[in-house]
Amino acid sequence: MKVRNYLRVPLAWQMLVHKKKRLALSICGITFAVLIMFMQLGFFNGFNDSQALMTTKFAGDLVLMDVRRAHLNRWTNMQQMRLAQAAAFEEVAQVIPVLNGNFNVRNTETGQYRRTYALAFPPNTNPFEIEGLAELTPLLTRRNVVLFDSLARDIYGDLKVGQSIDVNGHLLELGGLFNLGANFTNDGTVIMSEATFNMMVGGDRNQVSWGVLRLKSGVDVERFRQKLRDALPIGVSILTPEEMRSREISYTMRKAPVGVIFGIGLIIGFVIGTIICYQILFNEITDHLTQFATLKAMGFSAGYLRGVVLQEAALLGVVGFIPGLGGGYLLYWLLEDMTGIVMFQTPGRALIIFVLTVIMCVMAGFIAVKRVVKADPADVF
């Protein structure tokens, strides 16, 4: 029995590699099915991740905001006084107020105004971890200087550092470019100092959008949050950036039909993969029917033969997944470049597709194996 178990994998493997050209074709088919699944899952995650991108850029332990500011594109502000209340705790190292709005930035070439996500904070502070921003924040000490996202959609025209830029009808100076990225709601982001922002909206200076809290090292975030919770009115939400991210993603999933769109795509990819895999195994079995019947005549059990086919199926899944994974990386990279949607692979996401691939192949194996079990030695000889 031990010998037989040992024999099985090489047998399944050898049957697969018997015809190299056909194996290559089979792997190609499975790879494409894997690619469809990667693509659909990638778009699904990419859409959610892009919508929540900004939440991952908050560089603080806790973020305070009005309780009605339930997602990134809701504009309810809170009183600045709440930040002062929080700053009074000895555990707090720094509190940075952030203002957020929607401004119109004019494309200098076409003259068209484009709605743009705007962020502002006091000069010489940096509440965000945005690539390229830290070096630029000193520029914000000058009034009327703004920073712009180099990864914004190309609807703003060619923007050069040092040029003047029309924001809400005010001519400001473009001080520098940072790298953030656009999503389905926002085409671009502009950053400025609190003073410049207030000059433009002429709004209530006692209001802020978020307060980014940094705690002294060694302070337990959860315990401090509880303490702060007790001190602040219920109209204030206290969230970690990670909680903001998951809240944003669940909001996006609830409001946008992406789950349905890409979920259907994923199912179709899975079914296609199953059919392709079934076809491969079917041909494989047809070709080797004589050998299977011979094995049976030699006394190998139906269970053994079934094992061989299922192993062939699983091997196909594993072997087809590898180029699929490679192709998935390439596809994500290409699409990220083309669309600006953040698309990345995580071990967990790749694992989901791997498991789906193996299930798909083994399922096809179960359907295809019936023929082997029925293979009658008497028919062959």
Give the binding range for another protein (CB under 8 A) out of 37-45, 207-215, 288-296, 302-310.
37-45
CA–CA distance, 16 with 314 (Å, rounded to integer)? 11
147 phi/psi in degrees, rounded to 5: -115, 145
Q: Indicate whether 132 belongs to the interface with another protein (CB under 8 A).
A: no
In Å, how far are 21, 38, 173, 289 from 25, measured between CA atoms? Answer: 6, 20, 58, 21
Q: Kindly state the helix (H) or strand (E) to which residue 97 belongs, with its residue range.
A: strand 92-106
Q: How many CB atoms are located within 10 Å of the residue 155 CB?
A: 14
**Of 21, 16, 25, the residue nearest 308 (C-alpha):** 16
Cβ 35 vs Cβ 328: under 8 Å: yes
Q: What is the DSSP letter of 116?
A: E
What is the DSSP code (8-state) at residue 181?
-
Contact status: 133 vs another protein (CB under 8 A): no
Rule CB under 8 A: say whether 103 interacts with another protein. Answer: no
CA 7 – CA 29 distance, rounded (Å): 28
What's the closest the beta carbon of residue 55 comes to another protein, in angstroms?
A: 19
Q: Mask of contacts with another protein, 157-186, x by CB under 8 A?
A: ---------------------------x--
Size of the site for another protein (CB under 8 A): 47
Q: How far is the CB of 338 from another protein (least distance, A)?
A: 5
Piece of the chain touching another protein by CB under 8 A; list 2-10, 34-42, 134-142, 196-204:
34-42
- Site mask, another protein, residues 237-276, x = CB under 8 A? -----------------xxxx--xx--xx--xx-xx--xx
Site of interaction with another protein (CB under 8 A) = 25-26, 28-29, 32-33, 35-36, 39-40, 43, 68, 104, 111-115, 153, 155, 184, 187, 254-257, 260-261, 264-265, 268-269, 271-272, 275-276, 278-280, 282-283, 331, 335, 338-341
